[in-house]
């Protein structure tokens, strides 16, 4: 993987990705953040060497370099999921590239279902810990120790200082910011009632299909990382309705202004 990392990094430096400080993975509910970015360079994932080959759904994926809140940022517009058939090494390859380009901090967003029913759809949750239920690890490959500690420490996967800053920004802006444990499931099917009950019993507050692989690799690389979920649906096993994707997207859009405030203000303070 080292050769591939070098080659891809060289390609992007040549394209003008000049020492970004912060990486951002834009999930559902944060896409509009891009409107506030002074875009300097934008490269389609299709054109980046060794990036996973785009699926139909994914042809819009882009890596963007620009200025946001006065900072040099590299932004993943669209992410890869295990359920699309990629390996976790593929899913997290862009994180390794962003690190080699120079970032020291990674900020991640996603959409998630509420297991803890104190949280309502349209609200926001700061991820303070996670459950990796993907059945795989992005560090489970030959040669991982050439890139970092194989037995990566996970005692504090989400950075306390970044989390504290998110908390104070939420307070200053009157944003309800829940906190909790995010469980990553493989998907792509949604969960059954029995699975939602299990997720509650084992300590999850929210469930989704992303983020955990990128966070594991960030820790492997010594990056500071923070992640925020938009709660798009309520996963109540005793009153479960069929998932309505349009409603999920509507909920993500509803939370978007608050998400943008959180991310922009944090980047200003970094």
Q: Which residues here bind ligand HPA, judged by CB under 6 A? A: 111-113, 185, 187, 190-191, 207-209, 232-233, 235, 248
Output the smallest distance, CB 151 to ligand HPA, in A: 28
CA dihedral for 200, 202, 203, 208, sign (positive or negative): negative
Residue pair 62/78 in contact by the 8 Å Cβ criterion: yes
Identify the three-state secondary structure at position 251. Answer: helix
- Least Å distance between CB 192 and ligand HPA? 11
Nearer to ligand HPA, 31 or 187 (CB): 187
User: Do residues 222 and 103 touch, judged by C-beta distance below 8 A?
Assistant: no
130 CB-contact burial (10 Å; exposed 0-12 / middle 13-18 / buried 19+): buried
State the minimum distance, in angstroms, from the CB of residue 149 to ligand HPA. 30
In terms of CB distance, is 179 or 236 closer to ligand HPA? 236
CA dist 97 and 248 (Å) reads 31
Q: Which is nearer to ligand HPA, 12 or 125 (CB)?
A: 125
Nearer to ligand HPA (CB atom), residue 20 or residue 27: 27
Smallest distance from the beta carbon of 138 to ligand HPA, in angstroms?
A: 18
Q: Which residue is nearest to ligand HPA (CB)?
A: 113
Q: Round to whole Å and give the CA distance between 11 and 49.
A: 8
């Amino acid at each position: 993987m080292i050769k591939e990392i070098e080659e891809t990094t060289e390609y992007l430096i040549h394209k003008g990705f000049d020492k970004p400080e912060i990486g951002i993975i834009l999930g559902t509910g944060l896409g509009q953040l891009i409107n506030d970015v002074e875009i300097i360079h934008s490269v389609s994932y299709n054109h980046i060497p060794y990036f996973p080959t785009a699926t139909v759904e994914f042809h819009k994926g882009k890596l963007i370099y620009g200025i946001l809140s006065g900072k040099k940022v590299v932004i993943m517009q669209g992410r890869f999921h295990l359920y699309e058939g990629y390996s976790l090494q593929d899913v997290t390859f862009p994180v390794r590239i962003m690190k080699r380009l120079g970032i020291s901090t990674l900020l991640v967003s996603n959409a998630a279902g509420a297991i803890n029913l104190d949280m309502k759809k349209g609200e926001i949750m700061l991820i303070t810990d996670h459950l990796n239920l993907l059945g795989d690890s992005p560090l489970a490959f030959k040669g991982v120790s050439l890139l970092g500690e194989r037995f990566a420490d996970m005692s504090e996967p989400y950075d306390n200082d970044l989390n504290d800053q998110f908390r104070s920004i939420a307070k200053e802006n009157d944003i309800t910011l829940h906190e909790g444990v995010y469980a990553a499931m493989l998907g792509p099917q949604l969960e059954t009632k029995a699975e939602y009950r299990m997720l509650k019993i084992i300590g999850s507050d929210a469930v989704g299909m992303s983020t955990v692989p990128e966070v594991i690799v960030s820790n492997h690389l010594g990056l500071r990382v923070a992640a925020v979920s938009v709660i798009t649906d309520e996963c109540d096993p005793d009153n479960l309705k069929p998932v309505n994707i349009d409603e999920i997207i509507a909920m993500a859009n509803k939370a978007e202004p608050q998400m943008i405030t959180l991310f922009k203000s944090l980047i200003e303070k970094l």
